[in-house]
Amino acid sequence: MADTYTFDAKDLAEIKKITDKYPEKQAAVLPVLWYAQDKFGHTDSSVQQLVAGTLGVPEAHIRGVVSFYTQYYENPMGRNVLDVCTCLSCQVCGGYDMLHYIEEKLGIKAGETTPDGEFSLQSVECLGACGYAPMLQVTNDKFVNHLTREKVDKLIDDLRAGKQPEFESNPMPQHEKGS
Amino acid sequence: MPEIFIDNKRYEFEEPGKVLQFMLDNGLDLPFFCYHPSLSIPANCRQCMVKAGMPVYDREKGTFEIDENGERVIRFFPKLMTACSLDLADGMVVLTHHTDELVKQAQADNLEFILINHPLDCPICDQAGECPLQILTYKYGPEGSRFEHKKVHKPKAIQLGPRVILDAERCINCTRCVRFTDEISKTHQLTIISRGDKNYPMTAHGQIFDDPYSLNTVDICPVGALTSADFRFKARVWEMNQTPSIDISNGKGCSTWMWTRDNLVMRVTPRFNEAVNDHWMPDAGRLAYRRFNENRISKPQLRLDDAEQVRTSWNNAQLTLLEELEKISAGDILVIGSAHASVEDNYALRTFFSNKGVSEFRFLPHIIPGSGDGYLISDDQAPNTNGVRALGFQETDEKTLIKLIKSTKPKMIVILDDDLLGRTSLTPDHLSGAWTIVFGTNHDETTRTANLVVPVTTAAEHAASYVNVDGRIQRTVPAKETLYTNRRLNLEMSMGRLDHYGTKFDNWVTDANRVDCISAWEFFIRLEHDGDAPKWESSRQIMEEIAGLFSTFRQVSYDRMDEENGIQLKLEQDTEVKPA
Ligand code: SF4
Ligand code: FES
């Protein structure tokens, strides 16, 4: 595969900052993969090759790491990745309804990317936010909780306009003052 | 001395170590998959669990606490421990499945768990019969499985590399193969990809598993997930004979097992030898088994008046040589020994011709500089360079040899098993002035040019010794019958199940594939019309004679080589052979 991805001098300086923190190069694999994914949007085989070459870590090992964590994208994804939880709590509270609504709205199935490269949709297992079910996560980052159709509509419009969702603080009932 | 109690029996230990290895060293049984004595210890299969505890020490009194029965009070670790990673400690108490129900249950449960997604395709799996998963399940596993759902399916028959095939469904993710490429062959070509019940070993994207040692992963894989592309579906392990031997495809001489069936070598696998190859051997040495089966010279071949070579009788071959010897004086004979042939055959060659008055004995080392890796692959392509040299054959390079032939114009050239025409710049023209006799195992350019070809045995067919690049003498054991050897009569040969229980009339037994050849030394004693012919009865006896004559081989005997897995010789000169 052609080596179409490269790190420039600034990237290499950043990566050096990361590797300097660890006694061994192998320990820097995770943060450097994050850095690469931020830059290129995914960590496919050519990116894996680039990271392996940059760090001097075996390429097979990098592949093992990338494929272990679902948060690293082994294939190019849309600009926004919607991970809709369909695990037990969300499922009970309508996780699949939300998933199907989004599928219809974007005209793609879970696991696919819109032709304009704007959105990828995935159905994922528990993200540890059962208290705010149903929910989804946007591109390995913010959680959008207590999903409703309206909330989904707004989210997608915002994302199209380049606006990321805000962090929502959701205190659990037992933690609310005075209860 | 520190002590440890295993199943209520006391053992002493000197060196620090792990409980599992200590138990194995003491002949105790414990099931395990991921542990391998030559690799790091990840403790990931969880099969070796034992109950372990330490005596309670009363610091104030400075003694061990004692219960009402006068026994030490033992405080057990809260959970079962993996014996492979548990350090031996003074006073430690270990309970295994023999004495503890919980351990027994845990071992069975773990096996049930490992087998949940295992395809159980033993009837079509190459590993069956030598599969730790199969064996341990028989011994320690549950009767059946409670798993009623569809098994997870994974890729099957993936060509990981040119020599290794992966069946991901059978893999139990012990990571032995990954650790092998990380720690032993250091190519780092394998990793485990994905996670949970979906994971299996794989290379990086677009890379192939072409490690020169890749087939070792097939040996250490405790299931049939990795199989040899070459050996796959060729034979069942219980149909084969297993004979200890050594690798003669390069100078290192790894200890091997030769697996035969129907008088064909089916595969070669490494045999543990701490002094040479540990548990490993290079792929090239395994695949070299073909030369034992294919393209063999069977029956002597004689060239009559520049015509084609024709097959002839042994009797005629002997008479022809004796006739030629009558005609030619000793000074006109050039004898070339071979680093590819054994110590015994080279010695026999030398003895016969020095009795004839010949005094110049030469050999051409077969070294390709840079082809070795400093580990188990040597630059030296021949198994016995040091052996021939120690017998007093003069090391000669090809230029010198060609010059020698041109200037002295020998009338007879004797070549012991070595394809000089194929591997050097020697041409048929150089030999055309002389009557040439070649002792050969396989048809090659050199045998095709000879006036007389004497078919000789390979390392798979004779008992003979070879001295490796490090000066270690090791021997082979006949694994494959020739037309003149018989497995039942030759006590040296191993017998497999089929040999023991089959008869010549069973349709699964075949007498085919026996080559009409003898050892070179046997050819010389058969020249009995000749008063000078030496009187040996076996290669064992030849080695005794050599041990008495040459200081390098002093005290070398077959028995010692067998007991000590080879003997380190003190070579008089530098063992490194310098190429010309
Ligand atoms: S392929 Fe074999 S050696 Fe490799 S991890 Fe799987 S079971 Fe272990
Ligand atoms: S042998 Fe695998 S955990 Fe001990």
Q: Kindly report the CATH number assigned to the domain that includes residue B59.
A: 3.10.20.740
pLDDT value at position A177? 67
Whether the CB of B204 is below 8 Å from some CB of chain A: the reply is yes
Judged against a pLDDT cut of 70, whether residue A10 lies above it is answered with: yes
Handedness of CA B505, B506, B512, B517 (dihedral sign): negative
Give the end of a domain, one of B79, B97, B114.
B114
| Domain identity same for B217 and B358 | no
Q: Is B264 part of any domain?
A: no
Residue of chain B with shortest Cα separation from A2: B206
Q: Which class does domain A80-160 fall in?
A: alpha beta
Which residues in chain A touch residue B205, judged by CB atoms under 8 angstroms apart?
Answer: 1, 45, 48-49, 59, 63
Q: Give the pLDDT score at B579.
A: 45
Q: How many angstroms away from the CA of B197 is the closest CA of chain A?
A: 12
Residue B25 maps to a domain: yes
pTM of the prediction? 0.92
Given an 8 Å threshold on Cβ–Cβ distance, is B190 in contact with A49? no
Angle at the Cα of B165 (from B162 to B167), degrees rounded to 5? 160
Percent of chain B with pLDDT over 90: 87
Establish if B233 belongs to a structural domain.
Answer: no
Nearest to A60 among B191, B194, B195 (CB): B191
| Nearest residue of chain B to residue A46 (CA atoms) | B205
Evaluate whether residue B329 is within a structural domain: yes
Say whether residue A64 is in contact with chain B using an 8 A CB cutoff: yes
Contact A81, A41 (CB under 8 A): no
The pLDDT value recorded for residue B503 is 75
CATH number reported for the structural domain that contains residue B562 in this entry: 3.40.50.740
Residue A68 is predicted with a pLDDT of: 95
Q: Residue B391: its pLDDT value, please?
A: 96
CATH code of B133's domain: 3.30.70.20
**DSSP assignment of B449-490, as one string?**
H-SEEEEB--TTTS--EEE-TTSEEEE----S-BTT--TTT-
Residues B533, B424 share a domain: yes
C-alpha distances in Å from residue B418, one per residue of A171, B16, B337, B438, B442: 84, 50, 8, 9, 10
Subunit contact A59:B192, Cβ cutoff 8 A: no
Each residue of B426-471: pLDDT tens digit?
999 999 999 999 999 999 999 999 999 999 999 999 999 999 999 9
Q: Is the pLDDT of residue A1 over 50?
A: no
Give yes or no: residues B194 and B154 share one domain.
yes
Task: Tell me the per-residue pLDDT of B238-280, one tens digit each, with 9 for 90 and over.
Answer: 989 999 999 999 999 999 999 999 899 999 999 999 999 999 9
Cα A76 to Cα A38, A124, B206, distances in angstroms? 12, 18, 17
pLDDT tens digits, A22-73: 999 999 999 999 999 999 999 999 999 999 999 999 999 999 999 999 899 9
pLDDT digits 0-9 by tens, B561-572? 999 999 999 987
* Residue B544 and residue B451 share a domain: yes
Average pLDDT for residues B518-529, to the nearest whole number?
A: 87
Ligand 2: does its nearest atom lie under 6 Å from the Cβ of B172? no
How many independent structural domains does chain B possess?
3
Q: Quote the CA–CA distance of B245 and A74 in Å, as a whole number.
A: 47
**CB distance B377 to B282 below 8 Å:** yes
- B120-147 tens-digit pLDDT: 999 999 999 999 999 999 999 998 889 9
Q: Is residue B439 in contact with ligand 2, taking CB distance under 6 Å? A: no
Is residue B288 one of the residues assigned to a domain? Answer: no
Residue B536 has pLDDT above 60, yes or no: yes
Inter-residue contact A43 to A52 (CB < 8 Å)? no
Q: Find the residue in B nearest to A47 (Cα).
A: B205
Distance from the B214 Cα atom to the nearest Cα atom in chain A, whole angstroms? 15
- Considering the domain architecture, whether residues B89 and B152 belong to the same structural domain is answered as no
Q: Which domain holds residue B562?
A: 301-461+469-474+515-568
Q: What is the pLDDT of residue B357?
A: 92
Measured in angstroms, how far is the CA atom of residue B140 from the centroid of ligand 1? Answer: 20
* pLDDT given at position B576: 45
Between the CA of B208 and the centroid of ligand 1 the distance, in Å, is 17
The per-type count for chain B, helices as H runs and strands as E runs, is 18, 27
* Whether B358 and B438 share a structural domain: yes
Farthest-apart Cα atoms in chain B, separation: 101
Residue A66 CB contacts under 8 Å (≥ 6 apart), including other chains: A33, A43, A48, A72, A74
> What is the predicted pLDDT for the residue at A3?
52
Q: Environment class of residue B330 by beta-carbon count within 10 Å: exposed (0-12), middle (13-18) or buried (19+)?
A: middle
pLDDT digit string, tens, across residues B386-436: 999 999 999 999 999 999 999 999 999 999 999 999 999 999 999 999 999
Place B307 in a pLDDT band, splitting at 50, 70 and 90.
confident
Strand B333-336 to strand B412-416: parallel, antiparallel, or no bridges (unpaired)? parallel
Read off the pLDDT band of B489 (50, 70, 90). Answer: confident
- Residue B223 pLDDT > 60, yes or no? yes
Q: Which of B210, B228, B246 is the last residue of a domain?
A: B228
Q: Which of B249, B170, B166, B247 is nearest to B203 (CA)?
A: B166
pLDDT surpasses 60 at B530: no
Distance CA B481, CA B490 (A): 10
Q: Does B437 lie in the same domain as B312?
A: yes
Report yes or no on B215 lying in a domain: yes
Residue B528: is its pLDDT beyond 80? no
Residue A2 pLDDT > 50, yes or no? no
- Rounded CA separation B454/B315 (Å): 11
Q: Is there a contact between B205 and A49 if contact means CB atoms under 8 Å apart?
A: yes
- Same-domain check for residues B416 and B563: yes
Mean pLDDT of chain B: 93
Domain assignments of chain A as residue spans, ordered by start: 9-68, 80-160
Residues of B in contact with A61 (CB under 8 A): 188, 191
Looking at the predicted structure, is the pLDDT value of residue B480 above 60? yes
